[in-house]
Amino acid sequence: MKLIILFAFFVSIELTAATVAGTITEKESGEVVIGSAVAVYEKTTSTENSFVIGNYTLKNVPIRGGYTNKYGFYSLPKIPNGDYILVARNVLYEVFTKELSIKEDYEINIEFEEKEIVSDEVVVTAQRNANGTGQISTINIDPNYIKKLPSIGSEVDVFRALQLLPGVSSGGELSSGLYVRGGSPDQNLILLDNVIVYNPTHIGGFLSVFNSDALNEINLIKGGMPAKYGGRMSSVLDMQMKEGNYKEFEGAGSISLISAKATIEGPITENSSFMVSARRFYFDLFLNLIDDAPKYYFYDFNAKVNYKLSDKDQLYVSGFLGDDVFDIGETNENIKFIWGNKTLNARWKHIVNKSLFTNFSLIYTNYNSTFRLEDSDDSEISDYFETVSDIEDFTLKGNAEYFGLANNLISFGYELTQHNFLSRVATNNNLDAELNDFLGDRRINALDGAIYAMDEIAINDKLSTNIGGRLYYFQEGDYFGFEPRLAASYNINPWLKAIGSYSTAHQFLNLISRNDIAVPTDLWFPSTEKIKPGRSTQTVLGIHSILPNDLSLQVEAYYKHMENLYEYKENTSFSLGIPLDDQFTSGFGWSYGFEIFLEKQLGNFTGWLGYTWSKTERKFDEINNGKVYFPRWDRRHDISLTGTYNFNKHWEIGAAWVYSTGQGFTLQNGSYTLDPNGWNQRYSYGERNGFRLPAYHRLDVNLMYKYEFM
């Protein structure tokens, strides 16, 4: 009898509760708005434990609250029947309020209006509030802010802006590579519209391949990765392309000292829109004026089309295409080097009901690097030598978010990828037997699969957790295992919270490099029976705070341990041939440090101050005589200060100042030859990166004048 009464009690609660769900978009363009706070509040007449918004006095603690996901969807479940105020907020837009009388489920789609502020474009949204666990070791940057920062040759670059963040280092002045908390660039999961981009740089690492005009969101996760991300050891860079303006046609274009680019977006029909963005490096046009000068250019192309099938279904097709072409043509010889990426993603968004949101994707990815040397005679090719490194992926991906529990957000999903790796060396010339051993094709096909689940739990008003895990399988080598992920935050008061996280991650693809610049001759190589998958564990502790005057503060300390790191052995003879497993040597490493990130989000002046103290060490038995050494990107101190200031609606100034401890380098201490004729010269070096360059600092300033001509 007691069980029947208890069952009836829970049924009555369910019958008197409702769900409010919907999508938040920008009124002017129809673009979805990500990471906006949505909550239902009770009205009150008391001045204690309350706040005023518009014409309403509301209790401090909401009945239900949540955030829009990366597709602009929100859901507030199990709201008891009654009268409430729905409040939606984002720092970039005017606050939205609506009176609700809850008796049944509601679908409320919200259009945000831009906030009336002095500055035209606001900026950075690194932390929107002091609650929840979603912002641990995470920084979000508005692409519009990147456009205001000083840039090389007036070419705005996403990666160079990210290098200004605490915890992110560069490989040098000419490198846009991201070294996140002691990890190397290949340990970053680079996602563009949920698709992996293997080679994210142009000009051998000088610029990234991502055009900021095509991006809607840039989200960098430096630690405590949620379970939905996997396959890399250090960080996640998750970028979303614009969907295209649903309301009207618009475009943007620019010409810098080194390239030209243009973006066009607009509606196709009432239920569909498009976005197309292209960029080309045109320095080769000047080189054409010089006889026998090498020819080099790159281009990248982004496109996205979406169509609303119904109120609950939407289809997206997005793609990226980019190539670098380097060509040296002489009378009888020609050297051509081409490398680039291709991606294509067909995604179906389906809202099952007000509590269940799903996405399913079919993805194609390709990265190819081809080097060809030709020796021609009378316009006929007599001899050639060619190397090819190619990765081709076919991926099925699905994920779901369940909002039906009052204090839980449950996410789960799967990823299934068929990797096809090709390494080829081909020639029509007769070579010696030793080099002939390298010739031919080497193909590795491997299935890579994972399933994950995680639960964001609001245990009470103070404590929130994100508990998750990821099961992985990699066919080549038959690797199978589990990765636990845990994050927690404790609200000390409404403006201050303590955070912590622990995560493990594995990596089955390694970028084997003979130098510290991400040039395209570096080779992606999969795990095999001999090449074990990389593994990292990271622990993070810190505090996050909202300060007066639109300031936010993050202070975090971390420790990361890395296993099964791979490099070429010292004095290896491999150069252009297919690498053999025994040419690699494995080791391990660790890094630790703390970071301070102070940011101003609104007003005439916006920007941030970042400081990092860190230490990164590695140890390989067959490198540096087995002694511990510092990789080149290890720097003890790193400071960055960025800011933009609007004088008026026409004039604006931007500046970026960086200071860092000098990087390590290996000093040559001698040379010798192995024969009396001086051929086969060898060099002798001291300890790897045993010397330190002087400290480095740089100040860049950018002055902008804006005007309207239409």
Q: Over the stretch 15-63, which tens digit does the pLDDT of each residue have?
A: 467 899 999 998 888 888 888 889 999 888 887 788 888 888 888 888 8
Q: How large a percentage of the chain has pLDDT more than 90?
A: 39
Q: Which has the minimum average pLDDT: 220-224, 269-273, 355-359, 436-440?
A: 436-440
Task: Give the SS3 label for residue 197.
Answer: coil
Mean pLDDT across 229-253: 91
pLDDT score, position 84:
92
pLDDT confidence of 257, banded at 50, 70, 90? Answer: confident
Q: Averaged over 375-379, what is the pLDDT?
A: 63
Report pLDDT digits (tens) over 427-480: 666 554 444 445 556 788 999 999 999 999 989 888 999 999 999 999 988 999
pLDDT in tens, 489-507: 999 988 899 999 999 999 9
Q: Average per-residue pLDDT in the chain?
A: 83
Minimum mean pLDDT range among 405-419, 422-436, 473-487, 594-608: 422-436
Instruction: Indicate whether 4 pLDDT > 90.
Output: no
Q: What pLDDT score was predicted for residue 312? A: 92
Contacts of 99 (CB under 8 A, 6+ apart): 83, 84, 85, 86
> Has residue 126 got a pLDDT over 50?
no
Q: How far apart are the first and last CA of the chain?
A: 76
Q: What is the pTM of this model?
A: 0.87
Comparison of pLDDT for 443 and 173, the residue scoring more: 443
- pLDDT given for residue 515 in this prediction: 47
- With 0-12 CB in 10 A as exposed, 13-18 as middle and 19+ as buried, what is 210? buried
Tens digits of residue pLDDT in 542-560: 999 988 888 899 999 999 9
Reported confidence tier of residue 121, pLDDT bands at 50, 70, 90: very low
Higher local confidence (pLDDT), 194 or 386: 194
Residue burial 233-271, b: 16+ Cβ < 10 Å; e: rest? bbbbbbbbbbbbbbeeeeeeeeebeebebbbbbbbeeee
The HSE-up count of residue 40 (CA atoms within 13 Å, CB side) is: 24
- Do 632 and 689 touch, CB atoms closer than 8 A? yes
Q: Please tell me the predicted confidence (pLDDT) of residue 16.
A: 62
Q: What is the DSSP string of 470-533?
A: EEEEETTTTEEEEEEEEEEEEEEETTEEEEEEEEEEEE-EEEE-SSSS--TTSEEEE--SSSPP
**Predicted confidence (pLDDT) per residue in 639-688, tens digit:** 999 998 888 888 888 899 999 998 887 877 776 666 666 556 666 777 88
Mean pLDDT across 181-209: 87
Q: Using omega within 30 degrees of 0 as the cis cutoff, is the peptide bond preceding 123 cis? A: yes
- Residue 412 banded pLDDT, cuts 50, 70, 90: very high
Q: 516-542 pLDDT, tens per residue?
A: 444 445 667 788 888 899 999 999 999
**Mean pLDDT over residues 254-282, rounded?**
89
pLDDT band of 130, cuts 50, 70, 90: very low
How far is Cα 24 from Cα 107, in angstroms, rounded to an integer?
Answer: 11
Q: Please say if the pLDDT value at position 158 is more than 90.
A: no
Comparing 429 with 162, which gets the higher pLDDT? 162
Taking the CA atoms of residue 558, residue 612, residue 179 and residue 448 in that order, the dihedral angle to the nearest 10 degrees is 20
